Amino acid sequence: MLSLIKCEFVKLKRRKIIYAVFLSAMLFPAGLSLLLKMPRFAGRYGSPAELYDELYISSVGFGIQFLLPVVLGILSSVLFFTERDNDTFKALRTVPVTSRQLVLAKIGVLMISSVLYAFVTHLTIAIFGSMFFTYNDCPGYALLTLCNGIFIAWVLCRWLF
């Protein structure tokens, strides 16, 4: 099963879509931190620690809750329609891999991509938060972000199947 997941990631790497996924994970917190750094927005908060909390809450609340399902939907359509578009599904039927194993590998890729997306978002928040604001990150923030990524991937996979 792990070799199937590895093959799916190699196929995604060739399509260059995986780079766009992780770039989208970095753009929202980066842009939001630059926006919060402006004096017009920074004056609303009492301390840089509050600014960091707002950066985290907004990035997780909007970046992961709204953007991650869209990104995973695009990624799942790329994953599931690659064989049909390239007409390689017939050749795949000759390999001793069942359709169930293939679908489970693609769902595994979606789950791993979701967790990686949440991790990259958390790292971007930590980097920009330490550059511009008081970095008061706790392990609870990292755990919350990763659990959020797992939950959204699970909901999407349950909705798709």
**Position with higher pLDDT, 67 vs 1:** 67
**Position with higher pLDDT, 139 vs 128:** 128
**CA distances from residue 145 to 40, 44, 79 in whole angstroms, order as listed:** 28, 25, 24
Is the pLDDT confidence value at 94 over 70?
Answer: no
Cα-Cα-Cα-Cα dihedral of 129, 73, 15, 24, to 10°?
-20
- For the stretch 16-50, pLDDT in tens is 777 888 888 888 888 888 888 777 777 777 777 77
Can you give the pLDDT at residue 136?
A: 66
CA 61 – CA 138 distance, rounded (Å): 17
Mean predicted lDDT score pLDDT of the chain: 79
Query: pTM for the complete prediction?
Result: 0.81
Can you give the pLDDT at residue 89?
A: 65
CA 149 – CA 18 distance, rounded (Å): 16
Q: One-letter amino acid identity for 115? A: V
